[in-house]
Amino acid sequence: MTGTATSSGGDGATTGVSEMSSSAAGGASSVGGAGGTGGVPTGPAGELPGSACTREFQVPSFQELPSNAKMPDPFTFLDGSKVTTKEDWVCRQKEISELAQAFIYGPKPPPPETLNASFSNGTLTLDMENAGRQWTLTVNITTPSGNGPFPAVFDVDAGAPMGVASIETGLSWLTSQVAAAGSGRGTTGPFYTFFPDSKATGSLMAWAWVASRIIDGLELTTGHEIDTTKLYGLGCSRNGKTAATMALFDQRMAMVAMQSPGSGTTSGWRVAEAQTSSVQTAGQIYDETTWMGEDFGQFGNNVNKLPVDQHEVLALAWPRPILVREGTNDSWNCPVCVYTTLKYTQLVYEALGNDDAVGFTHYDGGHCESGGQDWSSTYDAFVQKYLFDDASVSTADRFDEKFTFDAAKWQDGDLPPIP
């Protein structure tokens, strides 16, 4: 074994990336992927949004992208053709996912060539091999008392509600075990050692890739008492961006939830750029840290050339529920930007027939504050309805209207009902 690089970090987990012989033996429980990196790869069946669509899309170059001051029409493909059925929409989700990976977050690599998983005494261990490199990850899992299987949250320092298991993927674990995210640009960490050709992938997508491999591991093992069809993530601020990215780019997660994520998730790039007050913009977030993909930097002064905006990225969740908590006094997150983006997303869900699946608590407060009773009751309703399958619970009228949606300025095209 040569070129060994090992590290250990938060939450009692250990990880190592090393080069190894391609003939190294694997364990009994394994999953194989396409391997390698480059372009916009696909994950296992059911992972990436739109994976059921067989249509292929060409990602244009930056120079080929047209300029559009409005938030792009979710129901118009890049070639100008229209979404007229839900089957079309699934293909449009595939295109949006590919464009978001190419220009905003960086490509999500495919699964490794080999993934072996085991579970014992509350710890899930993943042994992965790809292109002669090996990576071992361990993650702690805490389950409630009683008999499972239980829904589970990818706990990005947000905790777990009653009756929900915790997959302990806190920020210290993610930054030490997967990908660092310090000030300024630069990609370091085991993910980039394992995928040396993925330097264009930002840390948000790197963390999302590992969440998907944890799901693989849970699907392959027993004894953890987790219902792998009832997963979601939750965190606040940058942890909220992380939880959202994990779920948006793996449709095996049953719900997409986040708290005060702002720019990079719920704040539309065009709307933020139009503000006269100090809010986080595309140029600022790119320069701040490594969250966004390398190719996103070219849009710092050219947000109108982005082929997708965040209302479409959030709509990758459909038909799954979306749950968001933001503060009306959280000026850096741009409350009007967040409202505009989420309202446009809700209109997409309405056209597709399930706008009640978008929950938005816009509480009167600042960044990552509690959100009060409105958030607690909304969070509980979404958990009970979508994770515990309680059909008696309604999530209707759970969308706060603290601003007015300026459709004339931002909406590009009609949103007719999609049968």
Active site (catalytic) residues: 237, 367
The phi, psi pair for 263, rounded to 5°, reads -60, 140
